[in-house]
Amino acid sequence: MSIELRRLAAAAWRAELPARRGFEVPTADDETAAALRALFGRSVSVVDATREIVADVRARGDAAVRDWTRRIDGVDNGDAKVDAAALARAWEETAVDVRDALTATAVRLRHVHAAQVDHANRGDDLAWLRPEPLQRVGCYVPGGRAAYPSTVLMSVIPAQLAGVGSIALASPPGADGRVHRLVLAAAHLLGIGEVHAIGGAQAVAALAFGTESIPAVDKVVGPGNLFVTLAKREVFGTVGIDLLAGPSEILVIASDGADAQLIAADLVSQLEHDPLAWAVCMTTSEALADAIAERFAAAAGSAVRASIIAAAAGSHAAVVVCATLDEAVDLAAAFAPEHLSLQGGDAEAMRDQVRNAGAVFCGALSPVSMGDYIAGPNHTLPTQGAARYRGPLSVMDFVRWPSVVELSRDAFEELAPAASTLARAEGLAGHEAAIRARLDALEAAR
């Protein structure tokens, strides 16, 4: 299979992309559209399909979850909760080297995420913010094309470090009605006893609204397919969500000395996730661009997931030749990629200049693939331009900061005149009256 990397000049790249990227619902491909027609008995958009599933689960609870799991996944698993024996058995049946890798990754993730824990009040003696962990969260772990035990670790560990008391995990059942063994093994490693064999929009709705067998959560986190993402958008407001995660993205800025073979491997590694994934390299060197394109074609054509890579590369993969590295940095910031990789002799010099990236990987020995597993920061990252306003999933995502106000008499009397003036300026007489009543009471008590 021949899979080519498009060659673009910086001006062509700039003209091809919108001024500001944002979350977009892709048009359903023919296969998805046909599947939806078969499922609903009529033509229906992905948005309307998701809304119908979410609304049904909200109205009918477990019965709706079971119906949609049977219709979509082809399994009727009755009680979808995985029992403790199955969790323990999954761990025992997992190869020792995989168990060791999961354990080492968990240790590394806990070490890095522990630095994000904050127990201190923020403010002064009169008013402050107080950190409080969320009481219950739902972690979605995708299935389908592959199993993602790493996502179990990435979602659960920051929640545990934050002090979340109750954590539920949901993941799609396979053809046998069971959650993938490696997902169960990772859950067992972390001591998670509540795992539900439910996927898709019905899982998100069940976590958000609660059912007869699944208590509602305060927040739903974790990546998933388009229907999972749209369901998270539907339930937002009833619960919190982490982000609307889209297809994977990598943007490499390659300066002189970068290894074309390594860059090609990095581009392929992210395109294999999804037919809608992005993989872009920016460089100032025509010769390096040629070498990267040549190595990419060889690596992509022989890849295990070549068909997925080919679908993505057709519209979302390119090598862009820029006039200067500053131009590459500016174009990268405008794209706001999920993963930004800096390779070549100027990588370290650019590290603190780049902006608007979900995660920055500096140097040839810091590939995105290491960040996907064991480097330390979270691999749940903003996509589709959301890196302009947020970073990775973290301990802070599982903490709320309510404010506390406790004014002394002196502080109240000092601040009240300004508050009263603002209340009058805004035409809120009741606000001023509430303040005035206390001033009068203090005056009378003197």
The answer to whether 202 touches 70, Cβ cutoff 8 Å, is: no
Give the distance from CA 66 to its chain's centroid.
Answer: 26
Tell me how far apart the alpha carbons of residues 307 and 313 are, in angstroms, rounded to a whole number. Answer: 10
Angstrom CA distances, 301 to 11, 199, 252, 297, 418, stand at 29, 32, 20, 6, 70
Tell me how far apart the alpha carbons of residues 35 and 402 are, in angstroms, rounded to a whole number. Answer: 45
Residue with tokens 């943007």: 251
Among residues 339, 406, 414, 431, the one annotated as catalytic is 339
431 is catalytic: no
Amino acid letter, 243: L
How many CB atoms lie under 10 A from the CB of residue 361? 24
The answer to whether 36 touches 46, Cβ cutoff 8 Å, is: yes
Among residues 338, 406, 414, 431, the one annotated as catalytic is 338
339 is catalytic: yes
How many CB atoms lie under 10 A from the CB of residue 26? 12
The answer to whether 244 touches 93, Cβ cutoff 8 Å, is: no
| Nearest one of 77, 104, 108, 103 to 191, comparing CA atoms | 103
- Classified as helix, coil or strand, 340 is strand
Amino acid letter, 385: G
Could you list the beta-strand ranges (E) of 83-208: 122-123, 127-129, 132-133, 136-140, 166-170, 195-196
Tell me how far apart the alpha carbons of residues 401 and 121 are, in angstroms, rounded to a whole number. Answer: 9
Report the DSSP beta bridge partners of residue 250. Answer: 279, 339
Tell me how far apart the alpha carbons of residues 236 and 93 are, in angstroms, rounded to a whole number. Answer: 38
Report the DSSP beta bridge partners of residue 133. Answer: 399
Residues in the chain: 446
Strands 249-254 and 240-241: unpaired
Which residues touch 377 (CB under 8 Å, ≥6 apart)? Answer: 112, 359, 371, 392
Amino acid letter, 355: R
How many CB atoms lie under 10 A from the CB of residue 311? 18
By annotation, the residues acting in catalysis are 338-339
